[in-house]
């Protein structure tokens, strides 16, 4: 792997990690509110 390819590899991996982190955080927040609503509804 050339230095340019390695740089690109690291960049893509980092971008993917950020997207996955945001997605997971979004689900945590969503499940929190779903729980509150469902408990409140019963």
Partner 1 sequence: MNTTTATFAPTLPADWRDFLALTKPRVMSLVVFTGLCGLLAAPGYLHPVLAFTAILCIAMGAGGAAVLNQWWEADIDALMKRTANRPLPGGRMRREDARDFGLFLCFTSVIVMGLAIHPLAAGVLALSIVYYSVIYTMWLKPRTPQNIVIGGGAGAFPPLIGWIAVTGEITLMPVLLFAIIFTWTPPHFWALALFVKTDYAKAGIPMMPVVAGERSTRQQILAYSVILLAVALAPWAIGGVGAIYGAAALALSAAFLVLSARVAFRQSQPGDTMKPEKQLFAFSVLYLFALFAALVADRMVLA
Which residue ranges make up the site for partner 1 (CB under 8 A)? 1, 5, 8-9, 12-13, 15-16, 19, 30, 33-34, 36-38, 41
Give the shortest CB-32-to-partner 1 separation in angstroms: 10
Outline where DSSP puts E strands in the chain.
none
Q: What does the alpha-carbon distance between residue 28 and residue 41 come to, in Å, rounded to a whole number?
A: 20
Give the shortest CB-34-to-partner 1 separation in angstroms: 5
| Nearer of residues 3 and 33 to partner 1, judged by Cβ | 33
Give CA angle at 1 (14, 11), nearest 5°: 15
């Amino acid at each position: 792997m050339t230095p340019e390819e390695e740089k690109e590899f690291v960049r893509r991996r980092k971008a993917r990690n950020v997207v996955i982190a945001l997605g997971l955080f979004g689900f945590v927040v969503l499940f929190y509110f779903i729980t509150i609503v469902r408990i409140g509804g019963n």
